[in-house]
Amino acid sequence: MTKAQKSIILLSILLAVFLLCIWFFVYLPQQKKLSSIEKELSSIDMQIAQINEMAGGGDLTEALSNFNKQVKDMSAIFSSTDEEVIGNLSKEAKKLKIEIESIKPLAKQSIENPSLPLEIEELPIAMQLSCEFKDLANYLKILREEFSALIKVKKLEIKGGGEGKDLLSVNLEISAFLSRQI
């Protein structure tokens, strides 16, 4: 082998090593970055499609305005103070001639919901009532359909007053949901 042939083989090997280095250290990492960016772009496109779907295909400012109106309406469903809820519970009971023997608010529990600009708290309330069955049924109907706060009945225990007595002894555990703007 001549000296020129050895130089050509050496240059060919160096060129092959150089091309392999470029392949492994430049092209493949850039290809991975490109793939990652394409996935991120696809994810963003999906999020934009979801936002547009939520907007009903219309204007996003109008959709945001509707969302804020719905939050305000939702805020009106929840009472803002526990005193207000307890006062309204007592007032509705008096209207139906239900005797409240005791009413005990328990510790509030915060409900996490990062998608709403409201802080919602659950206020458990234990009540002992004395009433007739029809009055209790009307009271529960008012709590469910017409009450000024969102109420959830957790426990209802009814005991008869005894022979010859019309009044029932009722243990009622409810949760009232309170809200305030964050």
- pTM higher than the cut 0.95: no
Q: Dump pLDDT digits (tens) for 43-94.
A: 998 988 887 777 666 677 777 777 777 767 666 666 567 788 889 899 999 9
Predicted local distance difference test score (pLDDT) of residue 93: 93
Quick check: 79 and 108 in contact, CB under 8 A? no
CATH class of 78-181: alpha beta
Quick check: 172 and 129 in contact, CB under 8 A? yes
> Helix 82-95 crosses helix 133-145 at what angle (to 10 degrees)?
140
The neighbour count for residue 178, using CB atoms within 10 Å, is 22
Most confident of 13-22, 68-77, 111-120: 13-22
**How many CA atoms within 13 Å lie on the side-chain side of 45?**
6
3-class state of residue 46 by DSSP = helix
Q: Dump pLDDT digits (tens) for 151-182.
A: 899 999 998 866 667 788 999 999 988 876 65
Q: 166: Cβ–Cβ under 8 A, 6 or more apart, which residues?
A: 132
